[in-house]
Amino acid sequence: MVGWLGVGGEHARPILLFTKYLQVQPKTVGKMNQYVWHVWHVWRAWSKRIVVHALLSILVLCAGCQTQISQSAFAHMASNASAAFAAAEATLRYEHAGKITSAYAESSFINYQSELSKLPQTLPAQSGAPHAQTLRHLLHVVAPALTAVAHPCLQASCGWRTQVAELAAASSALQKVSNS
Amino acid sequence: MKQWLSLALGIMTATGGFLDAATIASAAQAGAQFGFGLIWAVLLATGALILLVEMAGRFTAVSEKTYADAIREHFGFKLYLIPLSAEIIAESLLLTAELGGIAIAISLFTGINWHFLFPVAALLVWLLVWRAPFSFIENAPATLGLLTIFFLVGIGLLGGPPHALWPTLWHPDIPQGQMATYLYLVAATLGATISPYLLFFYSSGAREEHWTWRSLALNRATAFIGMGFGCLGSIALVVLGGIVLRPLNITAGTLGEVGLAMARPMGIFGSLIFATVLFSTCLGAALEVVLAISYNIAQGFGWEWSEDKKPVEAARFNVTLTVFLLIALGIGLLGMDPLQIALLASTVIALFLPFSLAPFLIIMNDRTYLGTKTNGRFANIAMIFVLMLAFVVAIVSIPLLILSGGG
């Protein structure tokens, strides 16, 4: 290993041919050699200690680690959809409170539509999905919210408060099912 | 007076280069999902970037060569192709994301679907790189980017972070099943901030402005103050995300949602400020990315290059600019959400970081280029740490992308 990494002699041949092919300057090869040789020295002195400590650390982490690293695909998608409905609800409220312009709201809802339009088809197909009855109930709650996202009520005269409630309900239902 | 002006302009450039679609997206998501739990990653990335920017500027000022020139001369053309290839892949994605960010910003003003505005954004960037002088490109978008100061005003108007959020600074609140997402955002934050295109652009820009050893103080001030200011903007977004978006269960999955954090304290003015900042930072970043790729290729192949030369005087350089904009336009017309492309680009950048940064370690210690201005012991130790960090991030970025489902 040391020889191949290029200290000198016949073992240095592979690295010398490689650097010659890449047209690396000899002084650079010398410097690279020095760095590699130094690192190799340190590794030889410390390798056993490093490996033992690393193995012990991994064992301790695995034994002590009760936190799941990632969610199931269903929980992940439900969580993202919940957040998107929450954002849609906040956007609608802010638009009617005069905190954002109608153009801003329209633009935002175009993005929410892109994110959520295929939810009824893709969510049930994810791994980790609950049983069919729960899914049916969930999609029943989500359906009016999807309509609200597709046709948001940005004028004061229409039933925007109903849409806000529908979006909040969908967000809450999806968050609950993603956490269970 | 001229030196002070150069300093101010340099700081504005550094600010514009720090914040872009990827940084805005990752910062807002970090705050919305984990409170202050990722501020340490922003600070770590900023420290690394200050180090790298200072070195890139010092190298160019003293040697009067660009970073790309040095890689090619020192390591040979074939080895130079490795970081070049990495940059082409990563920056093509990032350029697409920045064009998407510009389109979304215009969409937030007009209400027009951003898909229709994407070609408009590409055309705008092309017109600027084709006709505008380097000084305009360097300073105009960055001047607008100074509006990020309003993020701090927004935090003040909200009464600052609530007490319950402060402990997340040193003890991140990571819900069950979110560890992969947390670690993915760490990698994305590092990749979004430590973007090699900024180094190639900064180094080439220093040559465009004919920096010499007299510019070393200006270089240091630009690196520290400019990057520091950019970092402040990024942290402000994390804080806004934590204060406004997190309690509403909003995860900043789209760029428009990030503006809601400014709309709450400042109303319509706040949301439009955010849209302006998004436009200016993405425009500045798009210009820097497309120029960085073109500088890199032109310098590597020994072509004429300069943004201040007429297109006919640097024909291949300008054709390269156009080709990459067309590539980004092609990727963008596939319809992927720019924020997702931005995060993917950050991951790819993180994956290729070691290839782009490793040459620094040798070049910055070469007295042939730098004379007495080579790296000191501290700079070398810091550089080795940054490289080790880059290797770790490169190894874990793709597995984390898969485990977290893309954030």
Residue B313: which pLDDT band, with cuts at 50, 70 and 90?
confident
ipTM (interface pTM): 0.89
In Å, what is the CA distance from B95 to each residue of A36, A39, A75, B317? 36, 38, 32, 17
Q: What pLDDT shows up at residue A117? A: 92
Window A:90-149, CB contacts with B under 8 Å:
90-91, 94, 98-104, 106-108, 110-112, 114-115
A36 touches chain B (CB under 8 A): no
Report the residue from A21, A84, A107 with minimal CB separation from B108: A107
Poorest-confidence range of B154-158, B187-191, B265-269? B187-191
Q: What pLDDT shows up at residue A60? A: 54
CB contact under 8 Å between B177 and A87, yes or no, is: no
Q: Which residue of B has its CA nearest to A67?
A: B176
Residue B8: which pLDDT band, with cuts at 50, 70 and 90?
low
Tokens representing residue B121 in the block: 């954004």
Q: What pLDDT shows up at residue A129? A: 87
What are the pLDDT digits (tens) for B328-381?
A: 999 998 888 888 888 888 888 888 888 888 888 888 888 888 888 888 888 889
CB contact under 8 Å between A70 and B405, yes or no, is: yes
Percent of chain A whose pLDDT exceeds 70: 62
What are the pLDDT digits (tens) for B20-33?
A: 888 898 899 999 99
User: Residue B204: phi, psi to the nearest 5?
Assistant: -70, -40
| Predicted structure pTM score | 0.85
- Contact predicate B177/A71, CB 8 Å: yes
Residues of B in contact with A115 (CB under 8 A): 253-254, 337
- Enumerate residues 6+ apart whose C-beta is below 8 A from A81: A115, A116, A119, A123, A142, A174
Report the residue from A23, A70, A102 with minimal CB separation from B111: A102
Residues of B in contact with A101 (CB under 8 A): 268, 271-272
Nearest in space to B193 (alpha carbons), one of B141, B240, B139, B232: B232
In Å, what is the CA distance from B53 to each residue of B4, B48, B133, B135? 19, 9, 23, 19
Q: Convert A91-128 to b/e letters by CB count within 10 Å (16 or more is b).
A: bbbbbbeebbbebbbbbbbbbbbbbbeebeeebeeeee
Residue B4: which pLDDT band, with cuts at 50, 70 and 90?
low
Poorest-confidence range of A79-83, B101-105, B135-139, B201-205? B135-139
Tokens representing residue A137 in the block: 């109930």
User: Residue B40: phi, psi to the nearest 5?
Assistant: -60, -35
Other Cβ atoms closer than 10 A to B195: 33
pLDDT for residue B323 is more than 90:
yes
What are the pLDDT digits (tens) for B195-250?
A: 888 888 888 888 888 888 888 988 898 888 888 888 999 999 999 999 999 999 99
Percent of chain B whose pLDDT exceeds 70: 96
Instruction: Give the 3-state DSSP-derived string for B352-383, with helices as H, strands as E and coil as C.
Output: HHHHHHHHHHHHCCCHHHHCCCCCCHHHHHHH
* Mean pLDDT along residues B145-171: 89
Q: Which amino acid is at B128?
A: L
Poorest-confidence range of A12-16, A97-101, B15-19, B402-406? A12-16
Q: What pLDDT shows up at residue A8? A: 44
Q: What pLDDT shows up at residue B191? A: 82
B275 touches chain A (CB under 8 A): yes
Report the residue from A22, A75, A115 with minimal CB separation from B254: A115
Class of residue B281 by CB neighbours under 10 A (exposed 0-12, middle 13-18, buried 19+): buried
What are the pLDDT digits (tens) for A75-126?
A: 999 999 999 999 999 999 999 999 999 999 999 999 999 999 999 999 999 8
Residues of A in contact with B85 (CB under 8 A): none
Residue A4: which pLDDT band, with cuts at 50, 70 and 90?
very low
Q: How far is CA A122 from the centre of its chain?
A: 18
CA B211/CA B264 separation, integer angstroms:
44
Nearest in space to B33 (alpha carbons), one of B192, B236, B157, B179: B179
Q: Degrees (nearest 5) of the Cα angle A103, B269, B26?
A: 80
Q: Which residue of A has its CA nearest to B75?
A: A24
Poorest-confidence range of A26-30, B63-67, B171-175, B244-248? A26-30
Q: What pLDDT shows up at residue B118? A: 95
CB contact under 8 Å between B253 and A84, yes or no, is: yes
CB contact under 8 Å between B362 and A28, yes or no, is: yes
CA A172/CA B5 separation, integer angstroms:
53
Tokens representing residue B283 in the block: 């425009």
Nearest in space to B131 (alpha carbons), one of B307, B363, B388, B359: B307
B362 touches chain A (CB under 8 A): yes
pLDDT for residue A59 is more than 70:
no
Report the residue from B174, B256, B362 with minimal CB separation from A111: B256
Residues of A in contact with B254 (CB under 8 A): 84, 87, 108, 111-112, 115
Class of residue B359 by CB neighbours under 10 A (exposed 0-12, middle 13-18, buried 19+): buried
Residue A2: which pLDDT band, with cuts at 50, 70 and 90?
very low
Distance from CA of B177 to the nearest CA of A (A): 4
Q: What pLDDT shows up at residue A3? A: 35
Report the residue from B76, B259, B404 with minimal CB separation from A104: B259
Q: Which residue of A has its CA nearest to B249?
A: A83
CB contact under 8 Å between A22 and B181, yes or no, is: no
Sign of the Cα torsion B370, B227, B184, B40 reads positive
CB contact under 8 Å between B272 and A108, yes or no, is: no
Q: Which residue of B has its CA nearest to A178?
A: B177
Size of interface A-B (CB pairs under 8 A): 137
Report the residue from A28, A87, A101 with minimal CB separation from B75: A28
> Hey, is B336 helix, strand or coil?
coil
Residue B55: which pLDDT band, with cuts at 50, 70 and 90?
very high
Q: What pLDDT shows up at residue B387? A: 87
Distance from CA of A45 to the nearest CA of B (A): 20
Other Cβ atoms closer than 10 A to B42: 25
CB contact under 8 Å between B260 and A94, yes or no, is: yes
Other Cβ atoms closer than 10 A to B124: 18
Report the residue from A23, A111, A115 with minimal CB separation from B77: A23
Q: Which residue of B has its CA nearest to A20?
A: B76
Q: What pLDDT shows up at residue A130? A: 87
| Most confident by average pLDDT, A32-46, B17-31, B315-329 | B315-329
Q: What pLDDT shows up at residue A157? A: 82
| Most confident by average pLDDT, A14-18, B102-106, B373-377 | B102-106
Distance from CA of B205 to the nearest CA of A (A): 27
How many residues make up chain B in this entry?
407
Class of residue A42 by CB neighbours under 10 A (exposed 0-12, middle 13-18, buried 19+): exposed
CB contact under 8 Å between A111 and B250, yes or no, is: no
Residue B406: which pLDDT band, with cuts at 50, 70 and 90?
low
